[in-house]
Amino acid sequence: AQSVTQPDIHITVSEGASLELRCNYSYGATPYLFWYVQSPGQGLQLLLKYFSGDTLVQGIKGFEAEFKRSQSSFNLRKPSVHWSDAAEYFCAVGPGGNEKLTFGTGTRLTIIP
């Protein structure tokens, strides 16, 4: 069965500092991996996705993520966070195409001035 672990429930960083959110997955085949962001009262917005090819993927809002098969990880990074990045971040895995996603429990990001 597929699963996603986001080990950090809550992370606090200073505005302008770098950010890394961790995601580990368990999946029997080549996974399709996603990072979504959810602001309070909002739905999920896709930040980036990985299907194949280059293991470093670029997304919206200056985010990037690196797929490391050997570590079963897909960590999300941003070199300099902005106050508007404060939100809940979810990593998800799926078999690809029109198939259901399995989400992690999320990491809440707080930005301090």
Partner 1 sequence: GAGVSQSPRYKVAKRGQDVALRCDPISGHVSLFWYQQALGQGPEFLTYFQNEAQLDKSGLPSDRFFAERPEGSVSTLKIQRTQQEDSAVYLCASSSTDGFEAFFGQGTRLTVV
Residues within the interface to partner 1 (CB under 8 A) = 4, 32, 36, 41-46, 49, 51, 90, 92, 96-106
CB 34, min distance to partner 1, A: 8
- The CA-atom distances, in angstroms, between 77 and each of 8, 21, 100, 101, 110 are 14, 6, 25, 21, 15
CB 96, min distance to partner 1, A: 8
CA distance 73 to 25: 6
Output 15 or 38, the one with its CB closest to partner 1: 38
Tokens of 26: 């368990």
Output 36 or 85, the one with its CB closest to partner 1: 36
Output 74 or 90, the one with its CB closest to partner 1: 90
Whether residue 107 contacts residue 88, with contact meaning beta carbons closer than 8 Å, is answered with yes
